Amino acid sequence: MGCAPMGHILYDEVMKYNPKNPYWFNRDRFVLSAGHGCMLQYALLHLAGYDSVKEEDLKTFRQWGSKTPGHPENFETPGVEVTTGPLGQGIANAVGLALAEKNLAARFNKPDCEIVDHYTYVILGDGCQMEGIANEACSLAGHWGLGKLIAFYDDNHISIDGDTEIAFTESVDTRFEGLGWHVIWVKNGNTGYDDIRAAIEEAKAVKDKPTLIKVTTTIGYGSPNKANSYSVHGSALGAKEVDATRKNLGWPYEPFHVPEDVKKHWSRHVPEGAALEAEWNAKFAEYEKKYKEESAELKTLISGELPTGWDKAFPTYTPESAADATRNLSQQCLNALAKVLPGLLGGSADLASSNMTLLKMFGDFQKDTPEERNVRFGVREHGMGAICNGIALHSPGLIPYCATFFVFTDYMRAAIRISALCEAGVIYVMTHDSIGLGEDGPILMLRPADGNETAGAYKVAVLNRKRPSILALSRQKLPQLPGTSIEGVEKGGYIISDNSSGNKPDVILIGTGSELEIAAKAADELRKEGKAVRVVSFVSWELFDEQSDAYKESVLPAAVSARVSIEAGSTFGWEKIVGSKGKAIGIDRFGASAPAGRIYKEFGITAEAVIAAAKAVC
Amino acid sequence: MGCAPMGHILYDEVMKYNPKNPYWFNRDRFVLSAGHGCMLQYALLHLAGYDSVKEEDLKTFRQWGSKTPGHPENFETPGVEVTTGPLGQGIANAVGLALAEKNLAARFNKPDCEIVDHYTYVILGDGCQMEGIANEACSLAGHWGLGKLIAFYDDNHISIDGDTEIAFTESVDTRFEGLGWHVIWVKNGNTGYDDIRAAIEEAKAVKDKPTLIKVTTTIGYGSPNKANSYSVHGSALGAKEVDATRKNLGWPYEPFHVPEDVKKHWSRHVPEGAALEAEWNAKFAEYEKKYKEESAELKTLISGELPTGWDKAFPTYTPESAADATRNLSQQCLNALAKVLPGLLGGSADLASSNMTLLKMFGDFQKDTPEERNVRFGVREHGMGAICNGIALHSPGLIPYCATFFVFTDYMRAAIRISALCEAGVIYVMTHDSIGLGEDGPILMLRPADGNETAGAYKVAVLNRKRPSILALSRQKLPQLPGTSIEGVEKGGYIISDNSSGNKPDVILIGTGSELEIAAKAADELRKEGKAVRVVSFVSWELFDEQSDAYKESVLPAAVSARVSIEAGSTFGWEKIVGSKGKAIGIDRFGASAPAGRIYKEFGITAEAVIAAAKAVC
């Protein structure tokens, strides 16, 4: 494998880690971007003594239930830092890991006690280099001067369709120089071990820039007939070629056999890792004595335990409180949380002043002010999401949030999907919503209607550290509605008003976000006409689904089929809630350019429409 | 406006176009990436004499029903080439336009008659430069040597969040040199008209590389109090500042007033444009005489009329035909179509051999072989989609297709959404499907089950020139099923087998794609047990929705509530089809790593599951 020397040198000589405690805080982080050389990583973990990858695991590569899926996944295999399947995600995750280190080091290190100090290494290939997300993340890494990020570019000239000459002839070196990186070229990556070692030393010496080490290699190095061809990219060599390769490389052993001298050589990593960790523990004990407050804070970041009483910090609202856009209410929540959650940090993709995501008590995280917590991502939505995944997976107590307009979730969907897959509790603050589809899979989609619901949405988001949350927030002002509550939001859907009795309303009106107000208005009118009307706020489908059947029946009784939903988005999926006899009001076309009030009217997202629909169904 | 000089020089001095026929074939193309200076474009179109933008339209900027929405849209405003709202899409569209020109010029120009010859100009800003999609597309433009692509980078140092210093400090010049572009810097873009003119001349002289002209400007130039600040980015100056700016620039006229001498100056573009078009028409008349075949072909590309009998080219299949993966059947369709559709061109994002998208009769579109029609996009899904949008909008008869694994639609969702919005009939070939959500909005989602259905899907895709199609295709082999047909696919959903009578089956089994076979198997078993079973292939929800009520009732009679659907994807949305008494079989979690058969079994996507569900509902 062309990238073997880099991985080998890193795990065997350069990195600090403890195989018996893969999650020891101050270890160096290692990311294989994409599935790049995933078998290599498993083999290295195995050699180094990680319990997570045994010989059987290597033999069951890509099989059901194994610890060695085709792409390394952090939640499957201890020792794997992040989940990097799709191309370009890994390098962006690595930027997030390096950002986290730089931020924590600046906040917690003391002149007499450096408690945070590790490198982030990443190996990426040609495919990752072609992806736009990689350029976005690397532009930020250069801007932030992430000097402890060291990326190996495995320059093997082969991607799935063959020689990269057919689609990728740019000068990567020059591009990275433009991005503000230090660039080193190792011309013989197959056997040039000393050159690789020297490059790592040089990279470490450059403290104000991330380093790209371009390592020119031969894919399938050692295979006499398949080296340097795309046929070794994602496929096994086959028995015959494996034999030929063994002969060529002078490797006489059985498959999966680790010779005794190799075992002996690698076995030192267990005691060395334990010693490294012990050394750090001792240093931290000293730190704890000297710096009580800081050490307590850092411990919550390492453990992920939320500080006691954190949720008392939320602002509360009554119907008398001023009408406001949920994006503004969101800012009040974020700023309240920043005071009590040391792990909260994040920002927007060049829309901070629109998304309302600035933490007023902090400055910008920048090259020379890395202790600050407002992150300026620029117009790089996809990179932003993947960087936040890296931050979230750096330490359990780090709670990254990121923001853009709701419609631009399309730009970052792959990163959001990976958040869900890799259990990264990123908080996605999506404003100016015109809500599209409910998200698929384990992502919490929350669309609060006012201040109490926005606070509730943040409470849910903070509590869900293993799944991402998307908050869809309004640009326009919304009134504080009677009946809304944090507790209600925690159930996903709940009754905000009802003039019926016996759980038998004539009709149930279901609203979300900015349309809950419309549902409430329609209910007022219908009640004047003598109808028994229930209004349900449906903040999160996913949370509601998780409630007990009894609770669901208490909110949406099966016997009441007269139901109307209203949401200024696609009606796709609403049939499940309103049933075949109900009616879903929404927008099943593209939007238009006009002031908001006019748009709502033109698209029929109005109380009148709800009233008409309610009369039609009951 | 900082970018006014560039736009002004282009429309007034450099570009060839005919305001009375905005769609004349050989005009230069002009793209404003993002909403960058959209008011500028409207003003220029108005001055130049386009009927599409009248004075009233300028006054109703961003209002309901106006021809001047906040982001220029090709389907709203003749003279606007593409729809570029979201950042980075426009520059990628421009790469597609320039690719189309290079391909058509190579195919149709003759030594004695150059019939295709135009430039593609684009203005893009800092925001576009930050987006990964822009880097992807520009890397390809450099690789392809698109010498007639000239991009102006409006380097004004301001984005929505303020000075670009906070997030964007890379050297764009150096990056573009790395991408293989010719780079020119105009230091004074506010008043340096001659420098801009000289830069355009220099760019035209460089024929083997695209050119980036970095034009350093002041945003809001001329406004004494707001120039060079983010407050002029997306907002109006306000009456007071407009007054001050008028004074500062010495502009004494009323709002929207065009002075007579200016009118007179610009009015020459109408006769000039007519003359340019007449000249081209004369040249083409000569070409038609000399090159009958080529001119006939080019005319279909310009008009978008499909050649008579094109749909006779499809391969046909019977149940005796070999089982095959729909991705392979797709390749048979693509290759059959390439023979009869001169506008078909496209490729894959480094997965051609997996997506099976190579046109065997053609070579690769490359810098030195631009007449070929296999496009190698590299691992750049997002750029690929947006480039295809540009190709589709270049000429009505160009039919671009592009391919990747279905799951990576996430990487290119914003481009797919723009395809739908801007009425670009791109064909998305998505293989290895594990179908996610049905797409929202006017996009045709097609999931064929075998050869006839794959052919049907292509027929539908080719016929839909104003909306994109996504074909979800299998990696694994599938049998040719009895009862499938091209005609059936054209209706979206249709009966492939039925042993009931009187439109009253005991149960309806509904399958899509690779799961149609499972539904058919389950039906066989249930029929053995005496049940009257209908099997419906549900290839496209969107097409089925468009059928008459009578047709829909004939396929899914309201009286039959016993329905079971099976699709190896999310069940989200299926309630609409199977109803509250039916059952949707699917996968509502993330996938796993294992051989395909094992996965289907583990996830319960089996005939046994369908049979059990069928018994439960009837």
A171 near B CB under 8 A = yes
B561 near A CB under 8 A = no
Helix ranges (H only) for B406-476 are: 413-421, 451-463
* Percent helix, strand and coil across chain A, each to the nearest 5: 45, 15, 40
Flag residues of chain B having pLDDT under 70.
1-2, 35-37, 234, 433-442, 590-592
Which residue, B109, B101, B116, B111, is CA-closest to B31? Answer: B101
Report pLDDT digits (tens) over A231-271: 777 677 888 988 899 899 898 888 888 999 999 999 999 99
Closest residue of chain A to B352, computed from CA coordinates: A161
Which residue, A572, A577, A568, is CA-closest to A597? Answer: A568
pLDDT at B36: 61
Name every chain B residue with its beta carbon within 8 A of the beta carbon of A87. Answer: 379
Name every chain A residue with its beta carbon within 8 A of the beta carbon of B580. Answer: 579-580
Contact B132 A130 (CB under 8 A): no
- CA–CA distance from A137 to each of A58, A90, A375, B32 (Å)? 32, 10, 13, 25
Top-tier CATH class for A310-473: alpha beta
Residues 173-232 on A with a CB inside 8 Å of B are 173-180
Catalytic residue annotation of B: 381
A491-617 carries CATH number 3.40.50.920: yes
- Rounded CA separation A51/A67 (Å): 11
A410 near B CB under 8 A = yes
A102-133: burial string, b at 16+ Cβ within 10 Å, e else = bbbbebbbeeeeebbebbbbbbbbbbbbbbbb
A85 near B CB under 8 A = no
Residues 117-146 on B with a CB inside 8 Å of A are 126-128, 130-136, 139-140, 142-143
Are the C-beta atoms of B132 and B194 separated by less than 8 Å? no
Contact A599 B64 (CB under 8 A): yes
- CA–CA distance from B149 to each of A263, B31, B118, B368, B455 (Å)? 58, 11, 9, 16, 36
- Rounded CA separation A276/A397 (Å): 23
pLDDT at A228: 86
Which residue, B571, B568, B560, is CA-closest to B498? Answer: B560
Name every chain B residue with its beta carbon within 8 A of the beta carbon of A542. Answer: none
How far apart are the two ends of chain A, measured CA to CA in Å? 68
Closest residue of chain A to B131, computed from CA coordinates: A380
Record the tokens describing residue B555, joined without a space.
């396929």
- Rounded CA separation A567/A549 (Å): 24
B315 near A CB under 8 A = no
Residues 339-378 on B with a CB inside 8 Å of A are 348, 350-354, 364, 366, 376-378
- Mutual orientation of helices B89-108 and B132-144 as an angle, nearest 10°? 20
User: Could you give phi then psi for residue A66, rounded to 5 degrees?
Assistant: -80, 165
Residues 489-518 on B with a CB inside 8 Å of A are none
pLDDT at A254: 85
Contact B592 A87 (CB under 8 A): no
Are the C-beta atoms of A452 and A476 separated by less than 8 Å? no
Flag residues of chain A having pLDDT under 50.
435-440
Q: Is A49 annotated as a binding residue?
A: no
B64 vs A62, A177, A594: nearest CB: A594
Closest residue of chain A to B129, computed from CA coordinates: A379
- Rounded CA separation B371/B362 (Å): 9
Q: Is A29 annotated as a binding residue?
A: no
SS3 sequence, B229-262?
CHHHCCCCCCHHHHHHHHHHHCCCCCCCCCCHHH
Domain ranges of chain A: 3-272, 310-473, 491-617
Closest residue of chain A to B408, computed from CA coordinates: A414
* ipTM score for this prediction: 0.89
Are the C-beta atoms of A73 and A422 separated by less than 8 Å? yes
A383 vs B132, B170, B436: nearest CB: B132
Q: Which of A131, A241, A381, A567 is catalytic?
A: A381
Name every chain B residue with its beta carbon within 8 A of the beta carbon of A135. Answer: 132, 135-136
- Rounded CA separation B106/B100 (Å): 10
B235 near A CB under 8 A = no
With H, G, I as helix, E, B as strand and everything else as coil, classify residue B292.
helix
Top-tier CATH class for A3-272: alpha beta
- CA–CA distance from B353 to each of A19, B356, B376, B429, B454 (Å)? 40, 5, 11, 13, 18
Contact B130 A136 (CB under 8 A): yes
**CA of A281 vs chain B CAs: smallest distance (Å):** 36
Contact B167 A87 (CB under 8 A): no
Q: Is A503 annotated as a binding residue?
A: no
| Cβ contacts from A onto B, under 8 A | 252
pLDDT at A36: 61
**CA of A325 vs chain B CAs: smallest distance (Å):** 19
